[in-house]
Amino acid sequence: MWMMRSIAIGFGLLLAMGSGFSQASHPTCDSRYVEDAGTKIVVLPSGPIASDAQNLECAFKVATHLNKPKVELTQGTYRLLSRVSADNFDGTLTGHTIATTIVAGCSGTRGGIVFNGGSPAITRMTFDSQGSNCANHLTVTSAPDSCGKNSSVFVKLDRLLFQSDKYGDDSAVIVEPQKECIGPDFSPAPETKLLGKLLINRVDMVGSFDVGGKISMSAGAQVDVFFSSLVGRDAGLLFLNTGTNAQIVGSTVESTLVNSYAILIEDAPGIRRSSNVLNVSNSVVVGYGDAIAQDCSVNCIVNISDSEVRSSFGSPFTTSRTGSLRVFGSDIRGADSILLVNNSVMANNDIYISAIPDIRVLGGGNTINQPRNDVKAPMGADNFISSRN
């Protein structure tokens, strides 16, 4: 009898311990606002309680724990008064429509949503920081355990609207690796690279974001921008320390400040990446400063076809280090010269260039094929100019 009682007590303790562990890994959300609805987790706006950030973060944890493929926001306004973090979320965050689901109330660095790893898809909603500043609305970065190791993400942004009306909002969208992490010996860990794919489809940005989209992906990551409008004060689209195959199709990319860039491809000092390839087709690129600028440590290639590239107070295209430009069937306009520096190549076919004083080549090893305007080569014989390919 004593032995049977001991076994029963021990079994009861195991159940209690098991329940405790389950509770730790599967958090209890506020059932008034977070509902388990079969294949999805539904989050309702909390109204004046303003606990939407906590409810949304809890919903991501439950969806990941239960392998639910969707977190759904209903019609209404959600106020994120603190930053929401989601680890390894492989699913869809969806609203009802752009007009009826609003994510608002972002304040400084306390708002916005950060996806740490995973394959998040975000669709059918508006991110609105009008009336307040927001550091970043959507950030996708490395997996939590990727310190010193490469990490892959697969991201889809579809039918979204970003709104801002104050200077100081950093970026609407950021996709980048962890900036700093400490290794097991408490020393800075080796650089983490972010790999994978990014799709931006039917995404519009309105207002005063410093940068529309900031992308730092490597190793031939695929970046696709379709039928979108990316607008920023300093840059509409910034590729920083990238090694990607990127394409912009049927879209508008624009910057709105003097000395700004519609598209900037840049490597930080000491950073070397494999070639970055950017294809622009059936699109409009408008730089209030320069339209497209390259500052690459390893060769960067820009192909422009059937598009319009305009600069209001700068160059339609400039390289400060190795790069190449190929233009086909496009309209290129600007206030300053097209500038090619150090082993740059410009190949033209059936294009219209206007309002440019000249095409200027500096340094050595530059090649221009089929120029349509006056060409000035200050370095003389170091540059090769041909009238045909």
Q: Which residues neighbour 24 within 8 Å (Cβ) at sequence distance 6 or greater?
A: none
Which pLDDT belongs to residue 2?
43
SS3 234: coil
Q: What is the pTM (predicted TM-score) of this model?
A: 0.86
Token output for 145 = 């355990």
HEC states along 97-156? Answer: CCCCEEEECCCECCCCEEEEEECCEEEEEEEECCCCCECEEEEEECCCCCCCCCEEEEEE
Which residue reads 């004046």 in tokens? 48
Q: Where are the domains of the chain?
A: 74-386
| 126 close to 99: Cβ distance less than 8 angstroms | yes
Query: What one-character DSSP code corresponds to residue 289?
Result: S
Query: Which residue type is seen at 89?
Result: F
The CATH number that domain 74-386 falls under is 2.160.20
Reading the chain (389 residues) residue by residue, the pLDDT tens digits are: 444 444 343 333 332 333 222 333 457 899 999 999 999 999 999 987 779 999 999 999 999 999 999 999 999 999 988 889 999 999 999 999 999 999 986 655 667 899 999 999 999 999 998 877 676 889 999 998 888 788 999 999 999 999 988 666 688 999 999 877 766 666 666 778 899 999 999 999 988 889 999 999 988 899 999 999 999 999 999 999 888 999 999 999 999 998 999 999 988 777 766 678 999 999 999 999 999 998 887 778 899 999 999 999 999 998 877 778 888 888 888 888 888 776 677 776 666 666 565 777 776 677 777 555 566 665 555 566 654 43
Residue 295's H or E segment, with its range, is: strand 290-295
Which residue reads 């519009």 in tokens? 204
Distance CA 101, CA 278 (A): 33
| 198 close to 192: Cβ distance less than 8 angstroms | no
How many whole angstroms from its chain centre is CA 268? 17
Which pLDDT belongs to residue 320?
77
Distance CA 343, CA 319 (A): 10
Name residue 194's beta-bridge partners: 151
| 214 close to 190: Cβ distance less than 8 angstroms | no
Which pLDDT belongs to residue 349?
64
